[in-house]
Amino acid sequence: MHETRPAKITSPIVDLGGAHVKLMPLALIVGAVGVGLAYALSQFQLQRFSYIYLVNFAFVLTMCIGSLFFVTISHLTRAGWNVTLRRIAELYAQCLPVLFILFLPILIPLLLSSDGLYVWNQGGWSMTHATNDLKDTVANLPLADRPPLEQMKAAYLNKGFFAIRWVIYFCIWGGMATFFLRTSLKQDTTGDKKLTSWMQAFSAPAMILFAASIVFSSMDLLMSLEPLWFSTMFPVYFFAGSVLSSLALITLTSLNLQRSGRITDEVTTEHYHDMGKLMFGFVVFWGYIAFSQFMLIWYANIPEETFWYEYRMDLENGWGILSIILLVGHLFVPFLFMMGRTMRRNKNLMFIATIYLLVMHWIDLYWLVMPQYARAGGEIGFGFMSVLADLACTVGIIGLFMGIFFLVTRDKPLVTLQDPRLGEALNHEVH
C-alpha cells in the first residue's frame, strides 16, 4: 500500500487549456462594467467611490503580496512539500506589476488635486478631522515653538514622496515576482537544478526588501488614512491579513483547478491538510497581532492612539458591531472550525473555509478603511443604492483581478514541471 511515487507530472491537463481565451475578456469586461457602475451609482462622488475602491484594491493587493511572500519563504526555507502549489502563488505574485494600473485611480486624483482619498493631502488635514480630544492635545503643546505634528509628518506624507514610494514598492514586488516566475518557468523546460539554488540565494536579500516594502506600503496605503494615529504594530497586522488571504486564495484556486480536471494528481489531500494548518496558524497570528495592537493602545490609554479604536468600538455608530463581527468571525469561528484534522482533509469543507476567510479578510479591510470616510465627515449610507455601488465595485475589482490573472497565466503550466523537489512534494505525507 505504501509506494513511492515517481517525481513525474501525471495529470492529463496542467495548464488552463485555452480556457483563458474566453474567460479573460469576460472577466475584464465584468470588471470594467462593475467599477464603472460603482462610480455611476455613487453619483460620481469621487471621494465616496475612492474609499470603497481602496478597500477592494487593498483586498487584491494583499492577496498578491501574500502570494509573493509564500513563494519567497518557500525558497528561503528550501520547502519541498509545497512545490506543486508554488506555481499558483508565483502566478498571483506576477499580477503585482499589473496591479499598478489599478493603483492609478488612487494616485492620480491625489497628484492632480489637493483633495483625494487621504486627508493629509488636503489643507489643514489633521486638525479638521481629529477628535476634540486630539485637537486639544495638539493645540495645547507645552512649548509654543514646537512644530505641530502635521508639520513634522508632512515631510513624509506629501504627494510627491508618496508617488515615488509607490513606484519603488511596485518595482520591488514586480522585480521579485518576475524573477521567481521566469526562473521557475525556465526550469520547467531545462530542468536545471542550479536555478533552484539561484532562487534560494535570491530569496534571502529579497525577503529583507519585501519586509521593508510591506512595512512602509501598509502605512502609506491604509494607516495614513488617519495621519495622526500611531501604531508600530499596524504593518504586522497588515502582513498577517495578507498571508492569511493569500493562503486561502492559493488553496481556493487549486481546489477550483482540480474541480475542472486540471493538476488532479499533483495536489493531494496532504497538501490541503498543510495549507489548512498554515491558515489555522495565521488565523491565530492575526488574532494575536490584532489583540496585541489593541491591548497596548488600550492599556497605555493615550488620547493620540485610543481615538482610532474608540471610534471603531462605538456601538452607536455601528462600527462597534462590525468590530465584534470581526473578532468572532475572523478569529473565534475559523479558530474552532479549522482546528480539526478531519476538516482540513475534507476538500469541500476547505472550499467553504477559504471563501469564508476571504470574505472575512475583505470585512477586515472594510473595517480599516471605511470608518475613516465617516470620520472625515462623509456619509457612507447603507441605502440600496450605496450598497449596490459597493457591491458593484467589489465584483468589478475582483473581475479585473481575475482578468489580470488569466492575462498573466495564459498557457503557462499551473504546476512546476521539473523542480528537483517535485518528488518530495508528490510523496508528501502529513503526520
Under the criterion CB under 8 A, does residue 2 sit at the interface with other proteins?
yes
Q: Which stretch binds other proteins (CB under 8 A): 93-101, 197-205, 288-296, 415-423?
A: 288-296
Distance CA 332, CA 309 (A): 20
Contact status: 143 vs other proteins (CB under 8 A):
no
If one counts every other C-beta atom within 10 angstroms of the C-beta of residue 53, the result is: 25
Residues 269 and 278: their CA atoms lie apart, in Å, by: 14
Q: Least Å distance between CB 7 and other proteins? A: 16
Compare residues 133 and 379 and give the one whose CB is closer to other proteins: 133
- We find the least distance from the C-beta atom of residue 233 to other proteins, in angstroms, to be 15
Q: How far is the CB of 320 from other proteins (least distance, A)?
A: 15
Question: Is 198 a binder of other proteins (CB under 8 A)?
Answer: no
Does position 295 interact with other proteins (CB under 8 A)? The reply is yes
* Cα separation, 196 vs 76, whole angstroms: 11
Question: Residue 291 interacts with other proteins (CB under 8 A)?
Answer: yes
Q: Quote the CA–CA distance of 211 and 69 in Å, as a whole number.
A: 9
Q: Interface with other proteins includes 301 (CB under 8 A)?
A: yes
Q: Which residues contact 76 (CB under 8 A, 6 or more apart)?
A: 200, 203, 204, 207
* Cell triple for 256: 477550483
3 state DSSP class of 154: helix
- Minimum separation from the CB atom of position 295 to other proteins (A): 5
Could you tell me the maximum CA-CA distance found in the chain, to the nearest angstrom?
80
Alpha-carbon distance of 274 to 345, in angstroms, equals: 9
Work out whether 144 is an interface residue with other proteins (CB under 8 A): no
| Binding residue for other proteins, selected from 156, 198, 216, 298, defined by CB under 8 A | 298
Q: Is 429 in the site for other proteins (CB under 8 A)?
A: yes
* Minimum distance, C-beta of residue 301 to other proteins, in the bound complex (Å): 6
Instruction: Tell me the closest approach of the beta carbon of residue 390 to other proteins, in angstroms.
Output: 31
CB 131 → other proteins: shortest distance, Å?
19
Ramachandran angles phi, psi of 321, nearest 5°: -65, -40
Q: Which of 124, 160, 205, 299 binds other proteins (CB under 8 A)?
A: 299
Q: How far apart are CA 82 and CA 74, in angstroms?
A: 8
Helix axes of 347-375 and 234-259: crossing angle, nearest 10 degrees: 140
- By CB under 8 A, tell whether 133 contacts other proteins: no
Q: How far is the CB of 245 from other proteins (least distance, A)?
A: 24
How far apart, in Å, are the Cα atoms of 290 and each of 59, 234, 286, 353, 385? 18, 9, 6, 21, 32
Instruction: Taking the CA atoms of 78, 82, 84 and 89 in sequence, report the sign of the dihedral they define.
Output: negative
337 near other proteins, rule: CB under 8 A = no
Residue from 70, 234, 294, 366 binding other proteins (CB under 8 A): 294
Using CB under 8 A, list all residues that contact other proteins: 1-2, 291, 294-295, 298-299, 301, 339, 341, 429, 431
